[in-house]
């Protein structure tokens, strides 16, 4: 991770939020800068992060740090409050492959309950790993830049999906990786198991690497337009 972004995570109000919500031993899973170009930056279709990277427990969240002002026009994040206590919805596309998005006609998807998260540059959002969320295209003439930090309690052990690179590591590399991903506290050797709904994200979308690619190549249906998400 870029040292500046890492520093923000370890030495800012974010740190307190993480301790409060995830506890004293916390890891970073991924960090990414999601950009939406002025005048047409793509939507992120509705999904639960849990569908991308289920774990042994759901003490996991994503922080969105706004690097520019985010308003209704430039593709703000939208969430459905309370959905993190509900079911894990299917994220399978029309070809029977993971598409990283829910079907907008799913009876458990209630768009009427969505709220929009806007804010000035420097504001942050926090959403639980099972919370339904998405974001509309950027229709403004300004960029939308949000840095997402996907964080977890150290005892949430990955099952598959986004973190499954760990299965390719040697035991020594895995041990190093565990240390390097600590935000604060210590790695644990005793993952916490919870009885939670899980769906594995297999078979994978034809092309992964980013949520935008997964949703496009998996054939996600759009809740923001009547048409499927356009191919690149």
Ligand X SMILES: O=C(O)CCC(=O)C(=O)O
Contacts of 26 by beta carbon, 8 Å cutoff, 6+ apart: 18, 19, 151, 152, 153, 154, 182, 183, 184, 185
Residues binding ligand X: what is the number (CB under 6 A)?
Answer: 9
Q: Applying CB under 6 A, does 31 fall inside the site for ligand X?
A: no
Residues 126-145 that bind ligand X (CB under 6 A): 133, 135
Q: Applying CB under 6 A, does 148 fall inside the site for ligand X?
A: yes
Which of 9, 14, 146, 205 is close enough to bind ligand X by CB under 6 A?
Answer: 146
Q: Which is nearer to ligand X, 14 or 129 (CB)?
A: 129
Least spacing, CB of residue 146 vs ligand X, in Å: 6
Least spacing, CB of residue 179 vs ligand X, in Å: 25
Q: Applying CB under 6 A, does 77 fall inside the site for ligand X?
A: yes
- Closest listed residue to residue 40, CA positions, set 141, 129, 119: 141
Q: Which is nearer to ligand X, 25 or 71 (CB)?
A: 71
Contacts of 19 by beta carbon, 8 Å cutoff, 6+ apart: 26, 184
- Closest listed residue to residue 150, CA positions, set 3, 7, 9, 2: 9
Distance CA 209, CA 154 (A): 24
Q: Which is nearer to ligand X, 14 or 60 (CB)?
A: 60
Binding positions for ligand X, rule: CB under 6 A: 34, 44, 49, 77, 133, 135, 146, 148, 211
């Amino acid at each position: 991770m870029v040292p500046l972004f890492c520093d923000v995570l370890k030495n800012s109000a974010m740190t307190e939020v993480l301790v409060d919500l995830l506890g004293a031993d916390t890891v970073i899973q991924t960090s990414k800068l999601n950009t939406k170009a002025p005048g047409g930056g793509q939507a992120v279709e509705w999904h639960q992060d849990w569908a991308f990277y289920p774990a042994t427990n759901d003490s996991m969240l994503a922080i969105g740090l706004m690097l520019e002002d985010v308003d209704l026009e430039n593709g703000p994040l939208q969430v459905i409050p309370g959905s993190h206590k509900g079911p894990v919805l299917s994220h399978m596309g029309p070809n029977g492959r993971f598409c990283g998005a829910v079907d907008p006609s799913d009876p458990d998807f209630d768009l009427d309950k969505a709220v929009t998260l806007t804010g000035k540059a420097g504001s942050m959002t926090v959403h639980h790993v099972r919370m339904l969320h998405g974001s509309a295209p950027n229709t403004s003439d300004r960029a939308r830049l949000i840095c997402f930090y996907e964080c977890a309690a150290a005892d949430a052990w990955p099952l598959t999906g986004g973190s499954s690179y760990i299965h390719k590591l040697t035991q020594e590399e895995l041990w190093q990786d565990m240390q390097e991903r600590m935000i604060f506290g210590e790695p644990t050797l005793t993952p916490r198991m919870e009885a939670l709904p899980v769906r594995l994200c297999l078979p994978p979308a034809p092309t992964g690497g980013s949520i935008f690619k997964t949703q496009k190549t998996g054939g996600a249906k759009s809740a923001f337009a009547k048409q499927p998400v356009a191919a690149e």
